[in-house]
Amino acid sequence: MMNQSKSEALFRRGMDVLVEGVSSASRGPATFGTHPRYMSHGEGQRLYDVDGNAYIDWMMAFGALPLGHGHPRIVETVSREIARGSHFATALEVEVEVAELLVKLLPHADKVRFANTGTEAAMAAFRLARGLTGRRKIIKFEGHYHGWWDPVIVNTNPMPPTMFGPKTNPIRIVDSAGVLEEMWLDTIVVPWNEVEMLERALEIHGRDTACVVTEGIMANMGVILPKPGYLNRVEQLCRQYGCLFYLDETVTGFRVAPGGCAELYGLKPDIVTYGKALGAGLPMAAITGPDHVMQGLEWGKVLHYGTHNAGRLTLSVTKTMLEVMLADDKANYKKLAYLGNRMADEIRRVAKGHNRHGVVVQGVNSMFQIFFTDKEEISDCRDFSAHVNRTKFRDFVLKLFEKGVYMSPSATLHSLSSIVHTEDDIAVTARAIGEVLEELP
């Protein structure tokens, strides 16, 4: 067993002064079932804990680190720019430059508004949709997550199958105490990946619906792909009912492809929000869309403020991340996707020798997740809730830690490649997974 004495001691101290010893439940005992491992630093594709153990990091800060840890170009940018002032809350040249890069890269985007986190960007996007259309309702999908804001923190978790209600009229479950009913009364919840269910919901609510919001790839329950043509149909239906098609690319943007799922699936959304990868480790998010939508934010018609919006240091890092990823005809995007797909294939190969566990690997480009399941495919939140063994996944990941491989122990999250992972990391990880599958009861 790896020495974890310093992590254990920090956990005891942390529990005295921090809620659950951490700052987000996914990092603490609620997810680990025990104390988390306290990390001291990262280097490239590796994380090092306070006890001196090294791990190949496949979590990459939930997708925030396409360039891995301490990439020389990011270190150089931060070192240079911090000395010139991290944040002014004034207009900036780099703000214009990054927005120009985004508008050039993203066909749906005429304009950009910067924010700090995926949740914040989503809050502004929902307000924008309501403000522009004058309509109250938001349609969201079962199991999709759009940040922790009151109107959308509804049906975001796996649930016992008996709690879902009929597909044609799902029971709305609020995932937090303290959320007033009036905050989510206008949120309509629909099963994902089934066109008919959305058609039905729009027949009833379409004329009152400000936007239909969807993740392009469902990343809040592992990795669940949209069925062929599904998202295009969602887009068409939005046009038909005059509601906005809001694609939440917080996870997928600047990751699964330079232009995210909009590019992968040929979509023309009305609003897209980004976060995570865009900041390459610093908090950066963006709301984007065509002129006629983004104009809604002009002169504070639909209000969006923020002291920390468009920080100078953060934008400089975003600019560097984009330069590195887009150089040489987007070579690093090809590498990112290659490494993620290779890792997923290797896990599939190794798992074949351990059929008794029922391992299914779902992924696309740099994102993948391992499911312990009796099904051949997990295609929505109901499938995930009824057919994915989350406890087994946690046990599996905790054993992987012992072999120097780091993933999130939560089956609802997923793993990610960065451009600094190597073939050797893939081989070491595949071997470790094989060993753990052998050991796992």
Tokens representing 231? 């998202």
Tokens representing 46? 């590796």
- Closer Cβ to ligand PLP, 118 or 151, answer by number: 118
Q: How far is the CB of 353 from ligand PLP (least distance, A)?
A: 33
Tokens representing 280? 């390459």
- 296-303's contacts with Cβ under 8 Å and 24+ in sequence apart are 296/128, 296/131, 296/132, 297/113, 297/124, 297/128, 301/131, 302/124, 302/127, 302/128, 302/131, 302/132, 303/127
Pairing type for strands 111-115 and 137-141 reads unpaired
- Kindly list the residues in this chain that would bind ligand PLP in the complex (CB under 6 A): 62, 117-119, 122, 145-147, 215, 219-220, 248, 250-251, 275
Instruction: Give the separation between CA 173 and CA 159, rounded to whole angstroms.
Output: 9
Among candidates 231, 227, 276, which has minimal Cα distance to 253? 276
Residue nearest ligand PLP, Cβ-based? 118
Report DSSP letters for 38-79, one per residue: PEEEEEBTEEEETTS-EEEESSHHHHT-TT-BS-HHHHHHHH
- Closer Cβ to ligand PLP, 27 or 146, answer by number: 146
Instruction: Give the separation between CA 339 and CA 160, rounded to whole angstroms.
Output: 35
3-state secondary structure of 303: coil
- Closer Cβ to ligand PLP, 119 or 365, answer by number: 119
184 near 190, Cβ under 8 Å? no
Give the torsion sign (CA, 49, 55, 61, 66).
Answer: positive
- Closer Cβ to ligand PLP, 126 or 393, answer by number: 126
Q: How far is the CB of 273 from ligand PLP (least distance, A)?
A: 7
- Closer Cβ to ligand PLP, 25 or 427, answer by number: 25
- Closer Cβ to ligand PLP, 14 or 275, answer by number: 275
Among candidates 342, 380, 386, which has minimal Cα distance to 363? 342
Instruction: Give the separation between CA 273 and CA 115, rounded to whole angstroms.
Output: 10
Q: How far is the CB of 253 from ligand PLP (least distance, A)?
A: 9
Instruction: Give the separation between CA 354 and CA 380, rounded to whole angstroms.
Output: 25
Q: How far is the CB of 52 from ligand PLP (least distance, A)?
A: 30
Q: How far is the CB of 372 from ligand PLP (least distance, A)?
A: 22
- Closer Cβ to ligand PLP, 119 or 415, answer by number: 119
Among candidates 98, 121, 71, which has minimal Cα distance to 322? 98
- Closer Cβ to ligand PLP, 251 or 302, answer by number: 251
Among candidates 201, 147, 156, 192, which has minimal Cα distance to 174? 156
435 near 411, Cβ under 8 Å? no
Q: How far is the CB of 192 from ligand PLP (least distance, A)?
A: 12
- Closer Cβ to ligand PLP, 38 or 141, answer by number: 141
Strand order of the β-sheet with 359-364 is 359-364, 367-372, 415-416
Q: How far is the CB of 261 from ligand PLP (least distance, A)?
A: 11
Q: How far is the CB of 26 from ligand PLP (least distance, A)?
A: 9
405 HSE (CA, 13 A, CB side): 25
Q: How far is the CB of 223 from ligand PLP (least distance, A)?
A: 12
Q: How far is the CB of 98 from ligand PLP (least distance, A)?
A: 18
- Closer Cβ to ligand PLP, 48 or 148, answer by number: 148
- Closer Cβ to ligand PLP, 32 or 145, answer by number: 145
Q: How far is the CB of 388 from ligand PLP (least distance, A)?
A: 18
